[in-house]
Chains A and B, each alone.
Chain A
């Protein structure tokens, strides 16, 4: 049987929660150094039930419930990783990672450099990001750009059950710290074919979600699906970035060379966002190929509000469509 061009033994229909759970379970099985650690990850199975059943299967040495203390949890995981383990931390929502930033920015990301390569920090921090559960503010953050800015840290963001499973396995096996941002909106929204056996997908590689000739669209995470919806009827090439840091320059460049037009769609606020980085990169490397100015369609300079205003915050299909039309009409 083949799936996405690979031979596979068996396919099962899974949502993203199940696919991530499978990746965690298979990595725990494969490597005794892998441990899961976080608030409510064990007995309770996690806020979104991502680690359900793992405590029963692997025991409290491998699946560790912690006190309610993000800085302490991430710091302990940095110590475990420096020791040689491969901790996978769960932070309940992206907005709560701010309490742990000191350990992420000042230590995890710098361990390789600080030890002059003697050891690394093979740590994964998983956290749900973005608008998705109808809770305002810190339960709906998309602050990926902050983390992309920090040297030494990798940032990965899946968009489907299939790539969530493969990328998480790679993140766990990666020797550097990886922030793994899970779109809470997609956790249970899509059920799709996922290979039952363990597999990895390369970090640093984007996927062409849809091929096209007229326009390059770059998006990631939950916005990929909105960006694709808005592109209906256009001959657009849609790039699913998947790894936000280090992002896949080559795939972006090749596509721009083909289409001559670029729109970046992001949920996060525009100023200083990842879209700003990608558009600067495109301008530096491919300005000669561009037939129109680059356009970013992004969230506004605001705090994520209550549910009723969410659709005003997150770029709507209509707003995205307008951005495409602007570039196409130029």
Chain B
């Protein structure tokens, strides 16, 4: 078996990469925070699952991807799209149900898609994207196009049988795919220990003779390293792996608010994790090693805020789809009639 695991010491990560990862995380954070701020206006008429607190995983993994690579996402998918390089405007337009949205204003936050950017569509079905990602990897193997597929999914999704079916298939065929499990310890309000016999999800890989690793998902450099090895192995060796990235979501399962007030999760637990904020801790490290200055960081934030302002303005100014749009894109060719 050819396994090209090259662990890089984090000091070796180029400054440009560090800056990009910081920017990527901040872009996700500010994007999600803006949704939370605007949500009470009740103009976004779709449920939103925010990934605040989990930004380092998407940012660290996608930093290792090429433009042509594919990403399969889930209901908590904004961060994956942004880190892969999606523009903000079609996302906001989608949340606002506008015709200019990435899903033409018919799918909302759980149905983000960005085909040009390698995101072939997401759905509300937990685990639904996992076998599709394996299929994409099989297709790229058949085509020989050197593409890697990354599948993001939650700890909850790892309980669906289809996860094991898919991982076995990928391991058997040695497909160019990386399974990234974002373990935030909860599926809706249900804690992992109440659902899983063994809470070490990455250890499942061993049962299929494949590589599994558990990492600190709030440390973007740890993610970057693990993803670098996994993606390199997938791309040239055709060896899939399973990365379990430990993290925590700050908001409730769905919607813009924290959930400890209604007793969903303990407050202390959230506050412990707030202390381990992936962005704040990384920021301190960047300042310390001189990769970025305070001014550069606030400038980055200003630029992102402007990007968000523009995207929101675009979304709010865009037209809504009409009744006839409802009937489009069901089949090729002619739409069915309403009556």
Interface residues of A (CB under 8 A from B): 39-40, 43-44, 47, 65-72, 95-96, 98-99, 134-139, 297, 300-303, 305-309, 312-313, 319
Per the bound structure, the CA–CA distance linking A239 and B107 in Å amounts to 34
Q: A43-B190, A303-B330 in contact; A67/B159 too (CB < 8 A)? A: yes
The prevalent SS among residues of B at the interface is loop
Chain B proximity of A294: nearest CB distance (Å): 14
Please, which residue of chain A has its CB at the minimum distance from the CB of B107? Answer: A136
Scan residues 28-85 of chain B and give those whose CB is less than 8 A from a CB of chain A: 45-47
Per the bound structure, the CA–CA distance linking A139 and B108 in Å amounts to 12
Are the C-beta atoms of B47 and A135 separated by less than 8 Å? yes
Are the C-beta atoms of A307 and B188 separated by less than 8 Å? no
Are the C-beta atoms of B107 and A134 separated by less than 8 Å? no
- Number of A-B pairs whose CB atoms are under 8 Å? 114
Q: A71-B161, A300-B338, A301-B327 in contact; A65/B124 too (CB < 8 A)? A: no
Please, which residue of chain A has its CB at the minimum distance from the CB of B105? Answer: A306
Are the C-beta atoms of B190 and A309 separated by less than 8 Å? no
A68 surroundings in chain B (CB, below 8 A): 126, 156-157, 159-160, 187, 190, 195
Scan residues 186-216 of chain B and give those whose CB is less than 8 A from a CB of chain A: 187-190, 194-196
B159 surroundings in chain A (CB, below 8 A): 67-69
Per the bound structure, the CA–CA distance linking A300 and B106 in Å amounts to 15
17 A–B contact pairs at CB < 8 A? A39-B190, A43-B190, A65-B190, A68-B159, A95-B125, A134-B45, A134-B47, A136-B107, A138-B124, A301-B330, A301-B336, A302-B330, A305-B326, A306-B105, A309-B97, A309-B326, A312-B338
Per the bound structure, the CA–CA distance linking A44 and B160 in Å amounts to 20
Interface residues of B (CB under 8 A from A): 45-47, 97, 105-108, 110-111, 123-127, 156-157, 159-162, 187-190, 194-196, 320-323, 325-327, 330, 336-339
Please, which residue of chain A has its CB at the minimum distance from the CB of B47? Answer: A135
Chain A proximity of B10: nearest CB distance (Å): 34
Per the bound structure, the CA–CA distance linking A135 and B49 in Å amounts to 12
Chain A proximity of B196: nearest CB distance (Å): 7
Chain A proximity of B99: nearest CB distance (Å): 11
Per the bound structure, the CA–CA distance linking A307 and B96 in Å amounts to 10
Chain A proximity of B218: nearest CB distance (Å): 23
Q: What 4 A-B pairs have minimum CB-CB distances, sorted nearest first? A: A307-B45, A301-B336, A67-B159, A305-B106
Partner of B46 from the list A135, A297, A303, A312 (CB cut-off 8 Å) is: A135
Are the C-beta atoms of A308 and B189 separated by less than 8 Å? no
Per the bound structure, the CA–CA distance linking A300 and B337 in Å amounts to 7
Q: A69-B161, A306-B45 in contact; A40/B105 too (CB < 8 A)? A: no
Chain A proximity of B163: nearest CB distance (Å): 9
